[in-house]
A and B are shown apart, each in its own frame.
Chain A
Amino acid sequence: AQTVTQSQPEMSVQEAETVTLSCTYDTSESNYYLFWYKQPPSRQMILVIRQEAYKQQNATENRFSVNFQKAAKSFSLKISDSQLGDTAMYFCAFPGREGAQKLVFGQGTRLTINP
């Protein structure tokens, strides 16, 4: 079975600090996309960042970047200069079995940014 594991149920940091959320996955695919989604307290899920597995370069979106280790099947999210608005649940997601049209989500990490 395809699985995604987020080993940190909760994390808490001070504003302006850097925080890294971890995600590991299991797949037999060679070419795929990986995603980090953010769910603020208002509940609507939004895409934070996407990584294409065949690209060597790690994706970056402003203060958000990933550390993608394909061989290790690791896909961590780094948030630099964290802000109060970054407080949310974060979900890692990746594709299921070959040919499937669906994402498999991790259990989520609840991140709290403290003032």
Chain B
Amino acid sequence: NAGVTQTPKFQVLKTGQSMTLQCAQDMNHNSMYWYRQDPGMGLRLIYYSASEGTTDKGEVPNGYNVSRLNKREFSLRLESAAPSQTSVYFCASSRVARSNTGELFFGEGSRLTVL
């Protein structure tokens, strides 16, 4: 039971470098999400995709782009990494279109450090 799979699990970048976090789910869920987790701030939504072909900004989208490649995959790209983007990133998915009514299933997280 793979569930939600994120890669890479760890990454160190230099300021200005770019990278893409990959996420895939095998539960045939419609909706997918990217959160970041910072100490004392809980989880904050970066972007989400309610269904294949749609993406929308969350609470903290600046500096990020996303692609819903197909129903299974939702990637998060940092075009020019900044130290403020040092965080743990979580991908999540839900069966229903509205995450506020259904359970979110999370990946194991990706720890990103920007020097």
Contacts and interface: CB of A to CB of B under 8 A. Distances in A.
A106 B43 CA distance: 8
B58 interface: yes
Contacts of A95: 98-101
- Chain B's interface size range is 20 to 34
Contact of A105 (B44, B48, B56, B101): B44
Given A101-B50, A105-B42, A107-B42, A33 B109 contact: no
Interface residues of A, number: 27
B26 interface: no
B90 to A, nearest CB: 7
B49 to A, nearest CB: 10
Nearest to B100: A95
A4 B44 CA distance: 12
Nearest to B106: A45
Contacts of B35: 105
Interface in B76-115: 88, 90, 92, 97-101, 103-104, 106-109
B87 to A, nearest CB: 13
A47 B103 CA distance: 7
Nearest to A42: B108
Interface string B38-69: 00111111001010000010100000000000
B88 A103 contact: no
11 contacts: A32-B100, A33-B100, A35-B103, A42-B108, A44-B106, A47-B103, A47-B104, A91-B43, A95-B98, A105-B44, A106-B42
Given A9-B40, A47-B103, A102-B58, 19 more contacts: A4-B42, A6-B42, A42-B108, A43-B108, A45-B90, A45-B104, A46-B106, A50-B103, A94-B100, A95-B99, A96-B100, A101-B48, A101-B56, A102-B45, A102-B48, A102-B99, A103-B100, A105-B42, A105-B43
Interface of A: 4, 6, 9, 32-33, 35, 37, 42-47, 50, 91, 93-96, 100-103, 105-108
